[in-house]
Amino acid sequence: MPGGFLLDALGIAIFALSFAPMKKILLTGLLALSHLLLLAQPCDCTPPATLSAAVSAADYAFTGQVTAVETNWISGGWKYTFHVDSSWNRGLDRVMVVNTGWEENCGYIFEKGQRYVVFVNRKFTAKTQGCSGNQIVTPELDLSVLGPGFQPRRSPLYGPMIATISGLVGAFFLFMAFVLFGKKLRTAKPKK
C-alpha cells in the first residue's frame, strides 16, 4: 500500500499536537518530516546489465508465474507466491514464496497471473528488489543465454504428506468398520 508511511507520519503528528507541549510537537514534526524525506529517496542502484550477470548476483534465479499476492506486514512490503517453471543456480521446489519491499523502498511489484524471471537473494527469507533485474517473460526475452536450468522438484514434505493423508483415510475407514460392525453385534438378537 504505497503512501501508508505518509499516513502513519501524519497520524503521529496529529497525536502529538493533541497532547504534547511545544517541544514535543516540534520534535515529533521533525521526526515525521525526516521519515518522509527518507522515504522520498529514489532507489540508488543499477540493475545488472545482462541476465547472466543477474543470475551470478542472485542466490536463486527462476522463471515462474505469480499465483498469490499478500501484504507482508512483518517486514513491510509484499509477499508473492510463484509456481516455478525452471530455475538456475540450484533446483527449487515447485512453489516459491518471495518477499519484496514497498515500491517506494525499492520493492519490485509483480502482477498476479504473469510469468517473470526472478532473481532472489536469501538471508533469512527469499527477497528481491527493483534493482535485482527481475523481468516479465515475453517472447522477445532470450532465456536461452542462461542455459537449460533445473526443472522444479517436489517438496521434501510431499512423501510424508501423502503417507499421513493415506494413514488418516485408512484409520477413518477402519473406525467406520468397527462402528458398523459393533452396531450389528449390539442389534443382533440372541438365539433361544
The dihedrals phi and psi of 86, each to the nearest 5 degrees, come to -155, 165
Tell me: pLDDT of 7 over 50: no
On the 0-12 / 13-18 / 19+ scale of CB atoms within 10 A, 91 is middle
Q: CA–CA separation, 126 vs 17, rounded Å?
A: 41
Tell me: pLDDT of 187 over 90: no
On the 0-12 / 13-18 / 19+ scale of CB atoms within 10 A, 51 is buried
Q: At 17, which amino acid appears?
A: L
Instruction: List 120's β-bridge partners, or say none.
Output: 60
* Residue (of 92, 69, 72) closest to 80 by Cα position: 69
pLDDT of residue 138: 92
Count CA atoms closer than 13 A to 126's CA, side-chain side.
18
CA dihedral sign, ordered 69, 137, 65, 120: negative
The dihedrals phi and psi of 84, each to the nearest 5 degrees, come to -80, 130
Residue pair 77/125 in contact by the 8 Å Cβ criterion: no
Q: CA–CA separation, 47 vs 131, rounded Å?
A: 4
Tell me the per-residue pLDDT of 27-48, one tens digit each, with 9 for 90 and over: 555 555 555 444 445 677 888 8
Each domain of the chain, given as residue ranges in start order, spans 4-39, 51-146
pLDDT of residue 14: 58
- The CATH code of domain 51-146 reads 2.40.50.120
pLDDT of residue 160: 77
The dihedrals phi and psi of 141, each to the nearest 5 degrees, come to -75, 120
Q: At 125, which amino acid appears?
A: T
Tell me the per-residue pLDDT of 45-87, one tens digit each, with 9 for 90 and over: 888 888 889 998 999 999 999 999 999 888 889 999 999 999 9
pLDDT of residue 192: 60
pLDDT of residue 112: 96
Section 122-129 average pLDDT: 88
Burial 55-75 (b: 16+ CB within 10 A, else e): beebebbbbbbbeeeeebeee
Q: CA–CA separation, 80 vs 171, rounded Å?
A: 37
Section 157-177 average pLDDT: 84
Section 9-27 average pLDDT: 57
Section 126-150 average pLDDT: 88
Section 164-174 average pLDDT: 88
Section 134-162 average pLDDT: 82
Cell digits for 15? Answer: 497525536
Name the CA radius of gyration of the chain, rounded: 27
pLDDT of residue 1: 40
pLDDT of residue 115: 96
Tell me: pLDDT of 6 over 80: no
